[in-house]
Every structure is written in structure tokens, then in C-alpha cells.
Structure 1
Amino acid sequence: MNIKKRIIKAILIILMGLTVVFAIQLVRGFIGSQIIKDENDFTGSDLGEGNEIEQKNKDELLFVFAGVDATGEKFGTRTDTLMLVLMNKENKTIDIISIPRDTRVNVDGNMDKINAAHSYGGMDDTIKTIRNFLSIDLDYYAEVSFQAVEDGVDALGGVDINVPDQIATAQNIEPGLHHFNGKQALDYCRFRKGYANADLGRISCQQDFVVQFIKNMTKLKNIIKIPGVISKVSSNMDSNISMSTILSFAWAFKNIDDAQINTQTIPGYPDMIDGISYYIPDNEATIDIRNKILYNYLLEE
């Protein structure tokens, strides 16, 4: 390589570096402006008697992530996915607790599947049901439709998922690393047949996807895309989490790795009651998980 080509290459590298730095500063400035803009503009209805919506710890965010066929449907639509997500900026950890959709709990005074709560009263009823089930102070939610999942993945250029042998066999795909577009990622998460452990196999796929999506979204090169991603999925997403909170937590978790994201599933077992299949939670084991992870949010029982 002659001197002229070396100089050109060096200039290009410097320009690329300056572009990245500028983009990062632009995003940080945008996040800062959003925090100043709407920090005192949060609105929302109280979800518990005498309990105002509040973020108890500014370094933590606890919310329920709900996947549905379509957002905005107040009645008639059951949740397909339920996850409690706890993000801690100080420790740089994310804890995800999946709640199987057939979990048998008290819904509006009757024993029913937990995913039925949404069909009775939307996200308000879903949150109240989870609060009562786990006796936790839960106020925030993010409800996304299947279309939002597709659009979000495509907006970030796809997602890489390492498919284990057992799941690959069940889904009739090759094991190993796959780069999925939005539709492929959604199909991977929604696949239901062929798992030896029934719905728990599907939950495992959903957890894998969420972990990899978070990792992809918080890559330095993708952080600048977050406002655009949110804008793209906003028509298929409903949430009472402020934009400033979303962006500040996204920035705090830039370049997060697998070791910082922990996944759990409410322990239990399948059973038939009156001809209906349920997932019966193991109360003792569930309380143990709750106390270890959600100890800052326990309500008096």
C-alpha cells in the first residue's frame, strides 16, 4: 500500500470514528432533552387502591411485558406472552420472570387462566391479577402486538438466535446460529407443537428471543436507531412507561451481555381440572423466586 492510500485510509477511519462519537452524543442529547421535557408529565390511572403510579427507585424499572394479537383491544383478547421484567441500572442487570399463560390464578374472584384477565379488562385487569397473584407493587406495563415484534426486529436489521438441538428438532429447523427477520423471529416465538415440556418449550424460545433482542438493541451501533424503532412500532404498542424512562434505561444498558440477563419461569406443573388444562404454580417455589428478585416491591399480605 502506497503512502497516498494509507493517508486516505487513515482519514476515512478518523471520519468514521468522529461520526460514531457524534451519533452517540446526539442520542445522549436527545435522551437528556426527553428527560427534561416529560419528567413531570407522566399520567395514568391508579392500579391499586390508594396506590399512585410511581417509580420507587430511579435506578430500577419493574414492568409487565405482554404480547397480544392486537393492542388496544380492551375485551376478548387473551395475552399470549406474559413476562415480568426488572431492570437495574446500578447493577446493570435485567431479570425476566415468565408467567405461563395457562397459570391458574384468581381472576376477578374466580379461578381462571391468567391470560384470561386481559379478555375481561385489558391491561388494567392483567396488572391487578399479577399484583394479587404475587403480592407485588406493579404499576408499569408494555403491551405489544405480534406486528410490533415483526416491525421492531426488522427495524434493527434482524436478530441472531442460537437454536438448541431440542428446540430445533421440535420446530424442524437446523440447530445452531440463525439470523431471523421479523416474521421468522415471531414464528420462532409462537411455535407451539412438538415440545416435550409443552408450553415451557415455547416460553424458552420467547426468553431466548427477548434476551437476544435486548442485546441487539443495546449495541452501540443500534442505540441511535431506538427512537426510530419506537416510532415504527408505536401504533402496535401500548405502554404507560414514559419515553424518557425507556431511553434512559436503553442507554444505561448499552452493550449488555448474556451474563447480565437472567431468565426464570414461574415453577409449577400442568394439570387438568374440570376438563380444562391449567398450569398449577408451585406456591412455595414461586414465593422464593419473588422474594429473591422482587424484594423491593413486596406488598403486605
Structure 2
Amino acid sequence: MVRKRVNRTQKQKKKRKNFLKRFNHSYPIYLVTGGLLLGILLSVFTVAGVALADLYGRVRSPEDISMLNNPEWLDDSRDFPGMSLEEAESDLSEETDPDPDDETKESEDSQPRDASLLAMNGIENILIIGTDTASFSGRSDVMILASLNHNTRKLNMVSFYRAANVNIPGYGQGLLNSAYAYGGADLLIRTIEDNFRVPINGYVIFNFNSFIKSIDVMGGVSLYLSNAEAAALGMYPGYNWASSSQALGYVRLRKIDTDFNRMGRQRQVLDAVLNQLSACSAVTIYNVATVILPSVVTDLNVMSYVGKAHTYLSYSRDQMQIPRTSDMWMFYNYYGQESGGYDQDATANLLRDFLTN
């Protein structure tokens, strides 16, 4: 009985050995291993492809602006600190954009692009535009150039003064923030390129609602408030954890100091958001992007930037404003608007040096 069991076990081992021998002869080990690896890679790429397709489907292109300006899409139920949404939208109502006479208006298409754009190899310049309403129309209240210098691994943030006197292609002299009201992001970019000679690779447009959604998904931001800022917002001096509504009130403060301080507050919020994102995992950054993207408008390949977010967030950061207050003088233009004059060549060179070094 014992002998029969031993023989049966030996026969089973022999069969298994012969099977493995035939299998290895027919399917070498490298084919089996390669097949397993290929299966894993296909699974990973399938998941990544689905994620990228999902992300791409959430992107709002420039063609979507008319839909996004629809009042039914806008959410005006949020409580803006110290103001209703209607008051917030009319806060700049005293600033009107002159409409040049059609007979004297130059054709925008006939205006040549400025051939003196500065060469910036290894640098990507992205214009962040914030409108002063809950829609995507109106003036550009925020104009921050986020410049990624891959040569020096720096992220430079430059605020453009909204009342800077510029030549708007097809419209003549006017305030910089009027360019967006006249012709959207394309005309604003062309105006900045022509007047400051810096090439711009793409843009992202925010309004009140997309700003609030961006801060909401982050759970708020940490902001340092001066005594005057804290008093105006009903908060405490020093570091505060600000909600989306408080952060919006912070970037819109204008009566306690100057417009240049206000530009600094806008950059501080952007810097605070970047600080929070730098501590997040890739999955969290992706989730944040899926919430923010449907409420902004951009012409960028967002998948590329989301995929490299950790690298870009590790860059050192610096900031400035253009033109500098020390280089500017104020005057009233033809339309009676207070404008900032500056030396165009000196300002363009200053901007180039800041972005390239």
C-alpha cells in the first residue's frame, strides 16, 4: 500500500516535470515574464489614459466663454465679504472703457506683430487673467505672468499694473486692462507682447466663481494680514486661515492703501496656493485639477502641466510688478483716465533680466 502511494507520487512529480519541460520549451521564461510585464503596463496605461481623458474633458477652451457667461451657469449665491455679488461686479463701474470712433479705429488685423519680442529659450510664460466680474467678460482686474524658467528652475510671478498706459493694437493708447474688455485674452496677450516685448505661451482665465472654487477645493489658504487688512476683513493681524470668500475679499481690498499693494496681495494668494499644492500628493493635485478646470478657461495643454506639477512646484519662486512704482509717473490720458507712464525700453529690459536670471 505504501509502495503504491510512493509510485503514484513519483509519477505525479514526473508528469509535472515533463509538463514544465514542454511548457518552457514552447514558451521560454522571457516570453512569460514579458507577457506579464506587458499586461501590467497595458493596465497602467489604460488607467492613465482614462484619467487623462477625464482631465481633458473638463478643460474649458476659449470657445466656451460665451456659454460660461450665461447667467444660468453663474453661481451668485455666494456671500462675498462686505459686499453683495451685484456690488462686487459694480465696484469698478466708475472706470469706463472708451469706445474709439469706428472711423478712426485702426484695423487690428492690419497691425504687424512686434518683431522685437525677446528670445527666451527654456522659459514658458503663462498669463493668469482674473476678470472683475462673475463672468468672463469685462476688464482684466488681475494680470499675473507665471514664468517657468527651466534653465534656473525658478517660477517668477510678475504683476502688470492694470492702469499702465499702453498701445492697444487697433485701438490706440489706453489702459492695459481695457485690452481684455476690447478683445479678450488674445488682444490682451498681443498688447503685453507689443508693449513689454515678452513672449506669452498661453493663458488661464479666472472669474469670481472660479477663484472661489479654487480656494474651496484647497480648504482655504494661509494669509498674512497687516493691521489695516485685518481690520478691513474683520480678521486678526498676522497669519490667518482664510476661506474662499475671505481670500476674495483680501485680493479685492483697494481703499486701505494703493493699487500696487493690491497687486501684491494677489500674488500672495497665488503663492499661498502653490505652497499648499507643493505639499500634496500627485493624486491630490489631480483631484484639485478636476475641480478647478471646469470653472476656468485656458488654451494650455493642461495634462502636461498636471503631470509635471511636482517638478514645477519644487522650483524656487520670486515676484515683482511691472512697471515698478519708482519708474512710473501718473497722468490723465485723452479719455480722462489716470494712467501710468513709464520708459518702455527700460521696463522691457528690466522684465527680461528678471525672467531670464
Structure-2 change in CA distance of 1:244 and 1:72 (3 Å): same
Structure-2 change in CA distance of 1:180 and 1:85 (3 Å): same
Where do 1:30-45 residues align within 5 Å?
30=48, 34=52
Gaps of 5+ in 1: 1-25, 297-301
**Which stretch of structure 1 is more off in the superposition, 271-280 or 142-151?**
271-280
Where do 1:1-301 residues align within 5 Å?
30=48, 34=52, 60-68=123-131, 69-70=133-134, 72-73=136-137, 77-108=138-169, 109-165=171-227, 167-168=229-230, 173-195=235-257, 198-221=258-281, 223-254=282-313, 260-266=316-322, 267=324, 268-274=328-334, 275-283=336-344, 285-295=346-356
Distance 2:231 2:203 in 1: 34
Distance 2:209 2:173 in 1: 31
Distance 2:308 2:227 in 1: 34
Distance 1:290 1:91 in 2: 16
Structure-2 change in CA distance of 1:44 and 1:115 (3 Å): closer
> Residue 331 of structure 2 aligns to which amino acid in structure 1?
D
- RMSD of the TM alignment (CA)? 3.4
Structure-2 change in CA distance of 1:255 and 1:85 (3 Å): closer
Structure-2 change in CA distance of 1:60 and 1:135 (3 Å): closer
Structure-2 change in CA distance of 1:139 and 1:236 (3 Å): same
Question: Alpha-carbon deviations, 1:190-212, whole Å to 9, x = none?
Answer: 111120xx200111111111111
> Residue 298 of structure 2 aligns to which amino acid in structure 1?
S
Distance 2:231 2:341 in 1: 27
Contact 1:103/1:278 (<8 A) preserved: yes
Distance 2:227 2:220 in 1: 22
Gaps of 5+ in 2: 1-43, 64-111
Distance 2:239 2:346 in 1: 33
Distance 2:156 2:129 in 1: 16
Q: CA deviation at 1:254?
A: 4.1
Rg bigger for which structure? 2
> Residue 130 of structure 2 aligns to which amino acid in structure 1?
G
Q: Name the count of aligned residue pairs.
A: 249
Distance 2:217 2:135 in 1: 19
- Percent of residue pairs identical: 20
